[in-house]
Amino acid sequence: MATSIYVGNLPWSATEDAVRDLFSAHGDPISVKLISDRETGRARGFGFVEMEDDEAQNAISALNGMDFGGRALRVNKAEERRPAPRRW
């Protein structure tokens, strides 16, 4: 089973390939998605990596707090997103 990992405090210059390379040292990332602003297209400084459960736990333990591009990463298991309340 795969686990989704939240990766926060990424440098604005981070790319999906660079994040994939970082996580590859701890297993094989299934997917990497960096989030960007819908209107401006600029990076928002966070993203998600999907890995197998045991590899994900190893990556979280090893990478949380690690310096990446001059910033201390925040890496933890992603929480399920709650649906946004409907606006009428």
Residue 31 sits in a domain whose CATH number is 3.30.70.330
Per the domain annotation, does 37 fall within a domain? yes
H or E element at residue 17: helix 16-24
Domain containing residue 56: 2-74
Structure tokens at 46: 């966070």
Per the domain annotation, does 17 fall within a domain? yes
Selection from 76, 88, 73 nearest residue 18 by Cα: 73
Structure tokens at 24: 């590859």
- The answer to whether 67 touches 13, Cβ cutoff 8 Å, is no
Domain count, the chain: 1
Per the domain annotation, does 83 fall within a domain? no
State pLDDT tens for residues 57-76. Answer: 999 999 999 999 999 999 99
Per the domain annotation, does 84 fall within a domain? no
Query: How far apart, in whole angstroms, are the C-alpha atoms of residue 53 and residue 41?
Result: 31
Per the domain annotation, does 8 fall within a domain? yes
Q: What is the pTM of this model?
A: 0.88
State which amino acid sits at residue 32.
V
State pLDDT tens for residues 17-26. Answer: 999 999 999 9
